[in-house]
Amino acid sequence: MIKILVVEDEKPISDLIRLNLRKVGYEVKAVYNGVDAIEIVDKERFDLVLLDIMLPGADGFEVMDYIKPLNIPVIFITAKSALDDRIKGLTSGAEDYMIKPFEISELLARVNIVLRRFDKTEKILSFHDLSINTESMEVKKNDETIKLTPKEFEMLVLFVRNKNITIYRDRIYEEVWGGESDYETRTVDIHVQRLRKKAGLKNSLVTVYNMGYKLKDD
């Protein structure tokens, strides 16, 4: 299981991040100051660190200096929005820099991107009676292979990795079609309809009115 460390001194923000990361299947630990962050990465293995900058004990840049030789990807999450701070954060070795406040769906998307970049995503995903091999692009339902198109497969992986989270249509189009042409709402809707039918997700892959879709894990 992918293991993520959240280093954030504001507990309500930390709790919100942890809750949503756990919803989509990540193992998550949290610390609330820079000193504890340095100590825990010495003792435990993590696949990703979400790191605030303004921390007690040691600030995020000091923690980053310690983490960098360990080859653990880092995403800065901070209220420091000045251009100089963003440049310093990215040139310090961080993979990304997010400014508070942010949408949880955007955070999850950026987490997925960084994990894919470091080849740290799960190779086998599951949802109810579906098994999804992200390397062979094979999908099985109750041990029987389901034939999906490449776009349908990418869409299924996106939903499973973000289960219980509403995904906007424009984000689906961007992630699956990669901005190949102008955004087409109908294109997304047609592919979702086909995916529901092929994968037996009629009751799980629900429409969120005027927004997008959500894969419900009830």
Whether the pLDDT of residue 90 is over 60: the answer is: yes
Whether the pLDDT of residue 203 is over 80: the answer is: yes
CA-to-CA distance for 117 and 159, rounded, in angstroms? 19
Whether the pLDDT of residue 84 is over 90: the answer is: no
144-146 and 138-141 beta bridge pairing: antiparallel
Whether the pLDDT of residue 10 is over 80: the answer is: yes
Domain 3-117, CATH homologous superfamily name and number = Response regulator (3.40.50.2300)
Question: Letter for the amino acid at 215?
Answer: L
For domain 124-215, is the CATH number 1.25.40.10? Answer: no
What is the pLDDT of the chain when averaged over all its residues? 89
pLDDT, position 179: 61
pLDDT in tens, 14-36: 999 999 898 887 899 999 999 99
pLDDT, position 105: 84
Quote the pTM value.
Answer: 0.67
User: What does the domain layout of the chain look like in residue ranges?
Assistant: 3-117, 124-215
DSSP string of 35-72? HHHHHHHHHS--SEEEE-SS-SSS-HHHHHHHHGGGT-
pLDDT, position 182: 57
- Give me the half-sphere count of Cα atoms (radius 13 Å) on the Cβ side of residue 5: 27
Whether the pLDDT of residue 147 is over 80: the answer is: yes
Whether the pLDDT of residue 181 is over 70: the answer is: no
Q: Are both 3-117 and 124-215 of the same fold?
A: no
Find the mean pLDDT for residues 134-159.
91
pLDDT, position 174: 83
Task: Specify whether the CB–CB gap between 5 and 42 falls below 8 A.
Answer: no
User: 61 vs 50, 64, 118, 145, 198, CA distance in Å?
Assistant: 13, 5, 21, 48, 48
Reading the block at residue 217, the tokens are 């894990």
pLDDT in tens, 62-77: 999 999 999 899 999 9
CA-to-CA distance for 206 and 192, rounded, in angstroms? 10
pLDDT in tens, 98-127: 999 888 888 988 998 898 888 777 778 889
CA-to-CA distance for 96 and 98, rounded, in angstroms? 7
Whether the pLDDT of residue 180 is over 70: the answer is: no
